[in-house]
Amino acid sequence: MIFEPTAIEGVIVVRPVPRSDPRGDFARLWCESSFAAAGYRFRPTQISTSRNRARHTLRGLHWQAAPHGETKLVRAASGRIHDVAVDMRPGSPTWLQSYAVELDSTARNALLIPPGCAHGYLTLTEDAEVIYLIDAPHVPSAASGACHDDPALGIVWPARPALISERDQAWPPL
């Protein structure tokens, strides 16, 4: 696996290194010892999925407030998404800054998002399925969110959302 740090501490692009032969290829998508050797302590305790039927469906921006923060490894299992992480950690030198990457099921790349960072994405294809490996249980009372188009965040989305939940539209400005 290749680990590519971003400008936001703890937000890492993870790329598999496929091994190919005439049958196709094989790639490791998560390995505790590989993550640990690269300096990332990440031990998933749950795997979740979201299936999105329509192109330009927006989910997020979500995070769990401390002390219930969670690390997520996010990957497109089918289709493509514009994936965004936002640093919501007060006192961080990159507070309110975002990082975006296209996650593509063909490339099998992933984004590691640490506790205290918001996560959201916009589907770029129909029938995009997203897989999340998460290291902490979901605590509904710790659920937090921000509006995807909050001017304080300045996120540039590649398209206008065609479908977004009422809950995600209702997050107050920061």
Task: Report the catalytic residues.
Answer: 62, 132
Say which residues have a Cβ less than 8 Å from residue 137's Cβ, sequence separation at least 6: 45, 46
> How many other CB atoms are there within 10 angstroms of residue 16's CB atom?
18
- Tell which residue, 128, 124, 119, has the closest CA to residue 146: 119
Give all strands (DSSP E) within 53-97, no chain letters. Answer: 57-64, 72-78, 80-87
For residue 130, give the 3-state DSSP assignment: strand
Six-digit token string for 98: 């975002």
Phi/psi at 8 (5° precision): -100, 120
Q: DSSP per residue over 15-48, as a string?
A: E---EEETTEEE-----HHHHHHTT------EEE
